[in-house]
């Protein structure tokens, strides 16, 4: 039984006469009668009672008609949802992003994209990098703002190069320094993100290059929280420069090669992006410096 068969049963119930229902459905009366007989045989029950006044559903028919109404409504909604997803003018972009971008890069991009595509919906997922990669692999997300550049079949459009600094509490012994080496803070209580986060891998690599191991006292998946813990005197931390000084912390430049985080837009290259997602990608390319050449970018034009 097909969806159109269910629609014809609903029309028959509405018109209560085979002749009238057949005319409304633009089909012959014998064809509709044969359809009804076939459906009743398939379901193993008589659904309509026939008399001189026409046809009316019996209790079994009422059950079938209720289900038919539900199925056809859901099918129509499915078609509408797919049309929306496939329409670059009114579809949905499924975008994941790191927590640390929630109040900076993401709002700026979405504000500007909305000016260009006001009818496109953007479904947001805010999560750690390892969860972002999992969702990209499963198709839950189509695009993601992430750091560092992921391995495997991922496209990459660099958007921002964020310099890392050491944040220390106000009045800390290093607060007035012009620069600091990582081996100078090996004995300090250190605040950072948990193992498994992309940013933690970057921090660990920087310490390893300096021949030092941080003494981790607190872990948080949110860089703003980390800066707040430092401002409260609970340790020191490495964060992108834009996070320094939000509370009572002081940012101190680092003497360390590679002390930066490159943030970019990524997507899976082993599948085709839906039209709305492809439109978002092209929009970001149009505003990202060096986006088409793949060179690291300093930031979105006109932004800080």
CATH number at residue 234: 3.40.190.290
Same domain, 67 and 172: no
Same domain, 284 and 303: yes
Number of domains in the chain: 2
CATH number for the domain spanning 52: value is 1.10.10.10
Question: Residue 155: is its pLDDT beyond 90?
Answer: yes
Residue that the structure tokens 């992921």 belong to: 150
pLDDT at 171: 94
- Band (pLDDT 50/70/90 cuts) for residue 50 is confident
Task: Confirm if 55 and 65 have CB atoms less than 8 A apart.
Answer: no
Same domain, 143 and 288: yes
State the average pLDDT for the chain: 89
pTM as predicted: 0.65
pLDDT at 289: 65
- Band (pLDDT 50/70/90 cuts) for residue 85 is low
- pLDDT digits 0-9 by tens, 93-138: 999 999 888 777 899 999 999 999 998 989 999 988 889 999 999 9
* Domain, as residue range, for 38: 3-86
Beta strand residue intervals within 42-195, DSSP E? 48-51, 54-57, 92-97, 121-126, 143-146, 154-169, 189-192
Same domain, 76 and 119: no
Same domain, 68 and 115: no
Q: Which of 32, 65, 86 is the last residue of a domain?
A: 86
- pLDDT digits 0-9 by tens, 242-267: 899 888 899 999 999 999 999 999 99
3-state secondary structure (DSSP) of residue 150: coil
pLDDT at 286: 92
The residues, any chain, with a CB within 8 Å of residue 82's CB and separated by 6 or more, are: none
Count of alpha carbons within 13 Å of 177, Cβ hemisphere only? 19
Token pair of 159, please?
Answer: 């958007």
Q: Which of 34, 57, 86 is the last residue of a domain?
A: 86
Same domain, 125 and 216: yes
């Amino acid at each position: 039984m097909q969806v159109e068969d269910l629609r014809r049963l609903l029309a028959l119930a509405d018109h209560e006469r085979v002749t009238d229902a057949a005319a409304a459905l633009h089909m012959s009366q014998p064809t509709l009668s044969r359809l009804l007989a076939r459906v009743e045989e398939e379901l193993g029950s008589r659904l309509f009672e026939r008399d001189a006044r026409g046809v009316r559903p019996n209790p079994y028919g009422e059950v079938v008609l209720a289900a038919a109404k539900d199925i056809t409504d859901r099918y129509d909604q499915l078609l509408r949802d797919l049309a929306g997803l496939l329409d670059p003018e009114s579809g949905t972009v499924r975008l994941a992003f790191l927590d640390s971008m929630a109040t900076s890069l993401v709002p700026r991009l979405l504000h500007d994209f909305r000016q260009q595509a006001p009818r496109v919906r953007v479904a947001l997922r805010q999560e750690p990098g390892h969860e972002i990669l999992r969702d990209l692999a499963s198709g839950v997300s189509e695009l993601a703002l992430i750091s560092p550049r992921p391995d495997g079949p991922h496209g990459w459009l660099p958007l921002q190069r964020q310099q890392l600094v050491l944040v220390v509490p106000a009045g800390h012994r290093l607060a007035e320094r012009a620069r600091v080496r990582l081996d100078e803070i090996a004995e300090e209580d250190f605040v950072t993100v948990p193992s498994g986060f992309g940013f933690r891998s970057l921090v660990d690599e920087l310490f390893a290059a300096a021949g030092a191991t941080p003494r981790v006292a607190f872990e948080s998946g949110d860089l703003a929280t980390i800066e707040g813990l430092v401002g409260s005197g609970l340790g020191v931390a490495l964060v992108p420069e834009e996070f320094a000084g939000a509370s009572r912390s002081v940012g101190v430049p680092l003497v360390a090669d590679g002390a930066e985080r490159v943030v970019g837009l990524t997507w899976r290259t082993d599948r085709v992006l839906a039209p709305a997602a492809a439109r978002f990608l092209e929009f970001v390319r149009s505003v990202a410096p060096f986006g088409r050449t793949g060179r690291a970018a300093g930031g979105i034009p006109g932004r800080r």
